[in-house]
Amino acid sequence: MKKITFFFAVLFTAIGFSQNQSSGAVQSSIFNPIPQQFGGTEIFRFQPGLVTQLDSGTAFDFNSSQWFSLGRLNTGSQTVYGLRFQLKNRAITMGYQDLGDVNPRIQWIGDSFAAGTDLEFRVSNSFTSTSSKLVATMTDRGNTFFGNPLGITTTKVGIDYGDLGSTRTGITVDNLSGTNAYIAKGIFAKNNQGGYAKTGIEVQAITGSCYGNTGMSMRISDGYYNTGITASVTGSDTGSTYGISGAISGPSGVTPTGFGAAIQGRASTNPNRYAGYFNGNVVVTGSFSAGSDRKLKENIKNEENVLEKLAQIDAVTYNFKSNDQLSLPSNLQHGFIAQNIEEVFPELVSTIKKPIFDKENKETGTYEYKAVNYIGMISILTSSLKELDEKSKAEMQELKEETSVIIAQLNDKVAALESKIQALTGETKPDSLDDVNDIGFSMEQNKPNPFTNQTVINYTLPSNTKATISVVDLSGKFIREYTLSSEKGQLTINSSEIGKGIFVYALLSDNEVILTKKMVIR
């Protein structure tokens, strides 16, 4: 009997220690270890059912009582299996929401308008202290925050699903770093593992009827050095490399009517603000368009007297100097000097102030240089061509008038020359082409006339006749003679053989002048 009494005393003592190993304040060490009973490591076993503890209240309800349960719990509408900590109007459960569930869950329940609606993940370096550090928070809105979401020196990262019909954001980055932090990173993705394709952040918005989708949205302000997206890529010598790649297409088989752009840039009209800045060569395979609609413009005036201004500009060839701030081409360049353009067309020159960064990517100053709006030069050059054309037409008209006067004077001189030739030969020559044809000779007027480089004379000779065409100036000085080798043909005369001026050419046979005509070389 004493042995049985001692056995139960030890058993109840073990149960007491197992159920209440530490009472009151949390102890720093475990004392009086419970002996291993029944020849194994198991020290206590519950029968199937539910282990509960009612800490506050009169019933295991979900409103005003405070309790704990472990095992199979019937809530009235379903049977859950796991661990539950129930406080007033809020609780956390771990296990299976229903015995028929496939996946377990961690679930917390609470009033969204009351405290305790977020699930916190904390870390501590002490077993006895209740102080801890908040490392992550999940909210009942579907957000996940890493760090202290209420702090001002940590990063806030969230996943926000939103309600149907409201704004949906894939990733929310709220970096509230203080002024002492020079570089604050909203998202930092590092992938240095092997593999064919690596993606730091991938966003897919595959929806059917959503009005607007945004893969990644960034709003940054009030910083000394702000960058929405920074891409620094070092590619191989054989593969393709893109810092930022954008692609856009329309629905299959449909011509899109809405606006679309693979990459969009927008900037204010303030000085030193640009929708795009490229430090290096730019390649465009499609067309390049700039807004030029009449409805966008006012104070429209025609360019005038641009030839005089263009005469002040020097077109030059040059090579760029070595520059550690700009990526400049090394081959021979054609263009202008900005300072020269600025003297004549100051509105076509702008001053660029590019920031300078040190090795730690900290902005240390600005690099200033001048740039030329080469597209703006197009209208000026076009206007100069129009002005030059009008000037050329005026000069041509003036030349025609002068030529008419010269031809009239030439006719008089040719008539006088023909009189001299008649007096020398004692014969009268026919003065019409028909008369000439009657005796078998013909010589047409040279074409073109006047001419600059080259002209052609068509002629006809009687059979077995030798003839030449001789050229003399208005003073009767012999210039050049051409032997005709066929009965019918063309004689080509180059201005380089004659010179410039007014000349008379004559068809001669057996030292007799058959026909004469005049030509003008400019």
- At 336-379, the pLDDT tens digits run 999 999 999 999 999 999 999 888 878 889 999 999 999 888 88
Residues 6+ apart with CB under 8 A from 144: 136, 137, 138, 157, 158, 159
Q: Give the Cβ contact number of residue 70 at 10 Å.
A: 17
- Mean pLDDT confidence for 481-492: 90
Please give the pLDDT value at position 482: 93
Please give the pLDDT value at position 165: 43
| Token pair of 158 as six digits | 């969230």
- Mean pLDDT confidence for 17-25: 43
Place of tokens 């074409």: 447
Please give the pLDDT value at position 241: 83
Tell whether the model's pLDDT for residue 321 goes beyond 90.
Answer: yes
- Mean pLDDT confidence for 465-490: 89
Please give the pLDDT value at position 505: 92
Span 378-387, pLDDT tens digits: 889 888 888 8
Span 118-167, pLDDT tens digits: 888 889 888 888 888 888 888 777 777 777 655 544 444 555 544 444 44
Tell whether the model's pLDDT for residue 331 goes beyond 60.
Answer: yes
Tell whether the model's pLDDT for residue 491 goes beyond 90.
Answer: yes
Span 385-402, pLDDT tens digits: 888 878 778 777 877 777
User: In this predicted model, which residue has the larger pLDDT, 273 or 316?
Assistant: 316
| Omega before residue 450 within 30° of 0, cis | yes
Please give the pLDDT value at position 343: 94
Please give the pLDDT value at position 155: 45
Place of tokens 């459960």: 93
Pairing between β-strand 90-96 and β-strand 79-87 as defined by DSSP bridges: antiparallel
User: In this predicted model, which residue has the larger pLDDT, 199 or 275?
Assistant: 275
- Mean pLDDT confidence for 293-322: 91
Tell whether the model's pLDDT for residue 25 goes beyond 90.
Answer: no
CA-based nearest residue to 314, from 372, 382, 383? 372
Are the C-beta atoms of residues 250 and 260 closer than 8 Å to each other? Answer: yes
Span 234-265, pLDDT tens digits: 777 777 888 888 888 877 778 878 888 888 88
- Indicate the pTM of the whole model: 0.47
Q: What value does the CA radius of gyration of the chain take, rounded to a whole number of Å? A: 50
Distance CA 446, CA 456 (A): 5
Please give the pLDDT value at position 205: 59
| Omega before residue 256 within 30° of 0, cis | no
Distance CA 521, CA 448 (A): 10
Mean pLDDT over the full length of the chain: 76
Are the C-beta atoms of residues 144 and 158 closer than 8 Å to each other? Answer: yes
Tell whether the model's pLDDT for residue 425 goes beyond 60.
Answer: no
Buried b (16+ CB within 10 A) or exposed e, 382-421: ebbeebeeeeeeeeeeeeeeebeebbeebeebbeebbeeb
DSSP 3-state of 135: strand
Tell whether the model's pLDDT for residue 481 goes beyond 80.
Answer: yes
Please give the pLDDT value at position 280: 85
Domains belonging to the chain, first-starting first, are 50-146 (no CATH), 303-418 (1.10.10.10), 442-521 (2.60.40.1930)
Element (H, E) at 146: strand 144-146
Please give the pLDDT value at position 245: 83
Tell whether the model's pLDDT for residue 469 goes beyond 60.
Answer: yes
What whole-number percentage of the chain has pLDDT above 70? Answer: 69
Are the C-beta atoms of residues 157 and 169 closer than 8 Å to each other? Answer: no
Place of tokens 């070389």: 521
Position 33, amino acid? P
